[in-house]
């Protein structure tokens, strides 16, 4: 990156809540350039050593997922306005598995969160285009830490409910909110059950106008459906709420639910255990990524793989000895 700042300049800027410097530091984190990566890690380490963990301990991280078009961005816009109204400082990040393909990003090209992006107490960071080092969302975790160090006490992470992104986001937040639509008895079946099992709450959105009654009916259906799920073991039972990002109805209840969850999991120790487990999982996934990366980027590996795969395909070499042979050569 041209015009790099010094570690001190980044660190002081971030700790002072300078958004411009925060943005530049995040760009550094997203960069694939080795020099940028080294500097980014230095900045992160320095920032974290100065904030300790108190800022991230007092932050609330919320993941918001749901099928495309369910209303995630609009919901974040309305909830965000409400939260900044309460005096919070809010950072909005996105984990977008589709940005790799389109080269764009959800937050960038669809709903632009026009009101929220003008709000001095909100910081919106679209997800980077192109594949992220370490896989989908890896850089978002570090970005989150920097935002917390810059004084943002609520982090909202939007992700579209396709692929693996919701699992990734679930692995980095305290509270995972699933947005759904009414009139979706069919959707319930089509919906990946796995996502519902991850949710700390379901919110049926667009519960306004003609849709309000449908939403209440769907609320009952989903409540019944959730009762069939095994208990989470945390003592928390995911509630089903209704809301409208258009009218703002239900936003307060959604936020109160998140606070209740925060309070309960803090007092029973689950929150801390959860974050520790997330740290460990992050480490493990990075290690796996790094190992694979080193293996595949060895000189000549591509040709060697092609040759061995051909042998495996034609049956002249079995998969197990093929793997052993490759690993042996690599060592």
Ligand X SMILES: Nc1nc2c(ncn2[C@@H]2O[C@H](COP(=O)(O)OP(=O)(O)OP(=O)(O)O)[C@@H](O)[C@H]2O)c(=O)[nH]1
Binding site for ligand X (CB under 6 A): 66, 68-74, 106, 110-111, 160, 205-206, 208, 244-246
Looking at the Cβ atoms of 91 and 106, the one nearer to ligand X is: 106
Q: Which residues of 181-206 are buried (b: 16+ CB within 10 A; e: fewer)?
A: bbebeeeeeebeeebbebbbbbbbbb
| Residue 56 contact partner, candidates ligand X, Mg ion, none, CB within 5 to 8 A by sort of partner | none
* Contact status, residue 36 vs residue 24, Cβ threshold 8 Å: no
71's CB contacts (< 8 A; 6+ apart) are 179, 181, 205, 206, 245
| Residue 160 contact partner, candidates ligand X, Mg ion, none, CB within 5 to 8 A by sort of partner | ligand X
Ranges within 105-124 binding Mg ion (CB under 5 A): 106
How buried is residue 11: exposed, middle or buried, by Cβ count under 10 Å (0-12/13-18/19+)?
buried
**Which regions of 121-229 does DSSP assign to beta strands (E)?**
122-125, 154-160, 175-180, 201-204
Q: Largest Cα–Cα distance of the chain, in whole Å?
A: 68
Looking at the Cβ atoms of 163 and 319, the one nearer to ligand X is: 163
Our finding on whether 73 is near Mg ion (CB under 5 A) is yes
Which listed range, 43-51, 102-110, 112-120, 299-307, lies at the site for Mg ion (CB under 5 A)? 102-110
Instruction: Kindly state the smallest distance separating residue 68's Cβ from Mg ion, in Å.
Output: 8
Instruction: Kindly state the smallest distance separating residue 106's Cβ from Mg ion, in Å.
Output: 5
Instruction: Kindly state the smallest distance separating residue 60's Cβ from Mg ion, in Å.
Output: 21
| Residue 74 contact partner, candidates ligand X, Mg ion, none, CB within 5 to 8 A by sort of partner | ligand X
Name the site residues for Mg ion (rule: CB under 5 A). 72-73, 106
């Amino acid at each position: 990156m041209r015009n790099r700042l010094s570690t001190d300049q980044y660190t002081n800027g971030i700790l002072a809540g300078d958004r411009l410097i925060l943005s530049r530091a995040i760009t550094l984190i997203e960069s694939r350039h080795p020099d940028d990566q080294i500097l980014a890690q230095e900045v992160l380490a320095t920032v974290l050593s100065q904030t300790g963990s108190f800022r991230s301990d007092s932050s609330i991280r919320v993941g918001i997922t749901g099928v495309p078009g369910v209303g995630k961005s609009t919901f974040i816009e309305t909830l965000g306005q409400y939260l900044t109204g309460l005096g919070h400082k809010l950072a909005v990040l996105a984990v977008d598995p589709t940005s790799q393909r389109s080269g764009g990003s959800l937050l960038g090209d669809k709903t632009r969160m026009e009101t929220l992006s003008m709000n001095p107490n909100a910081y919106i960071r679209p997800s980077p285009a192109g594949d992220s080092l370490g896989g989908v969302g890896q850089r978002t975790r570090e970005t989150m830490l920097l935002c917390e160090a810059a004084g943002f006490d609520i982090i909202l992470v939007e992700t579209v409910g396709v692929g693996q992104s919701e699992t990734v986001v679930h692995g980095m937040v305290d509270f995972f909110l699933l947005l759904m639509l009414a009139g979706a008895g069919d959707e319930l079946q089509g919906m990946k059950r796995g996502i519902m099992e991850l949710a700390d709450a379901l919110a049926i959105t667009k519960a306004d106008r003609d849709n309000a009654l449908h939403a209440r009916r769907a609320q009952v259906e989903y409540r019944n459906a959730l009762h069939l799920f095994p208990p989470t073991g945390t003592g928390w039972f995911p509630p089903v709420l209704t809301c409208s990002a258009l009218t703002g109805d239900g936003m307060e209840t959604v936020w109160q639910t998140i606070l209740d969850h925060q309070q309960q999991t803090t007092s029973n120790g689950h929150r801390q255990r959860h974050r520790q487990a997330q740290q460990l999982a992050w480490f493990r996934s990075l290690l796996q990524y790094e190992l694979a990366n080193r293996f595949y980027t060895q000189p000549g590996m591509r040709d060697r793989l092609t040759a061995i795969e051909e042998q495996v395909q034609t049956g002249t070499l079995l998969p197990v000895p093929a793997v052993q042979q490759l690993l042996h050569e690599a060592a």
